[in-house]
Amino acid sequence: MNTVIAFILMFGLLVFVHEWGHLIFAKRAGMLAREFAIGFGPKIFSFVRNETLYTIRLIPAGGYVRVAGDDPEIIEIKPGHHIGLEFNESGKVDKIIVNNKDKYPNARVIEVERVDLDHELVIEGYEIGLEEEKMSFEVDEKAFFIMDERKTQIAPYNRQFASKTVGQRAMQLFAGPLMNFLLAIVIFIILGFIQGVPIDQAVIGEVQPDSPAAEAGMKANDEILLVDNNKVEKFSDVSSYIMDRPNEQIEFEVLRDGNKEILDIVPKKVDAEGTDIGQIGVLFEVAYEKSFFKTFKYGFTQTFDTTKMIVTNLAMLITGQLSLDMLSGPVGIYDATDQIVKTGFMNFLMWTAMLSVNLGIINLVPLPALDGGRLLFVGIEAIRGKPVSAQKEGFVHFIGFALLILLMLVVTWNDIQRLFM
């Protein structure tokens, strides 16, 4: 049960922050944000506030912010249609009743001759029973369609996504991944305040039995001073040096109880996903220090290092150096979360921050249907001076979304197989 709660909270936080970034910058640019959704599928919970429908949906596989103009509007009024009109105190149309007009006895029913709800905000037509007199009605910019008893706010062109500048649209799309990076920075800073900032020191914490280090006489609390006469100050330097030299003798100078010792160790060759690396069988001691300024620096550096690691692995996946089997979907992430939750709250926070960075990076990949794919089209528009046609872009995103669903199914199947292996 703890894992279920932790996963729901973690998933909800990551998606909420991502979509909140899209929402905030949409509203700042003057776009009409129709819906802010966590999850997909049937609605579990919903409410409306400041023009936006907020929903929690059944399938926990992401979320979205639906902005006016992002997708074709469902309701279209054509000449010859009979519609009902209700008016606000200013005399402007504030309700356009498409069907079930008998439920609105105060509505004026007209036959439409011309309608423009994008620019002029006007409806022209003939009131039923007074066909000889053509009338023109000014429409409020926040008027509603009412169809099947459901209200949908109209979207004048200046409230639509396409009406905004290239910079505003690009920022609205980039804001989601940006918020994921900012969330990771905040979580790492919180970790730094709670447990302190890790000190990267070359001190041995544990020596594994029957390992090359144990056979050479290395012990816990040994501080490594030199490696092949090269001065070292942090364990990451030592680790990378060892990994690059499998089956090669390395001379270590260590400080033990105030005395210097020389140890010759040959790292054992280990296969790591198709690459031979060296290991001597030690774990380095992790120490922490409390520092206000270093804690804030840690938030940024840890986010950068995590980003670098994920981008490197993604590049290896694209170039074929890593197998598709290395990818995990919701099932695999849930299983990993289950294992991490058992190791403690700090590790769970670290895992959440890493997933937040991962979500930001994946969404910036220039694939159709992702933020990166949509940013690519905005970039193409900026270069060529005119947008790609909505039909062509929509078709590309549709194909991309279908391929992403297929990839998700493959990854989920791999996750399920791993669970039972």
Encode burial over 206-234: b for 16+ CB neighbours within 10 A, e otherwise.
Answer: ebeeebbbbebebbeebebebbeeeebee
Backbone φ and ψ for 250, nearest 5 degrees, come out as -125, 135
Distance CA 127, CA 115 (A): 14
Which of 40, 54, 52, 64 lies closest to 155, judged by CA?
Answer: 52
Q: Where does residue 146 rank: exposed (0-12), middle (13-18), buried (19+ CB within 10 A)? A: buried
Catalytic residue status for 261 = no
Report d(CA 141, CA 118) in Å as an integer.
Answer: 9
What is the DSSP code (8-state) at residue 285? P
Q: How far, in whole angstroms, is CA 407 from its chain's centroid?
A: 17
CB atoms within 10 A of CB 66: 17
| DSSP conformation class of 76 | -
Q: Kindly give the residue spans of alpha helices, DSSP state H, lying in 55-113.
A: none
Phi, psi of 222 (to 5 degrees): -65, 135
Of 19, 133, 223, 285, the active-site residue reads 19
Supply the residues annotated as catalytic: 19
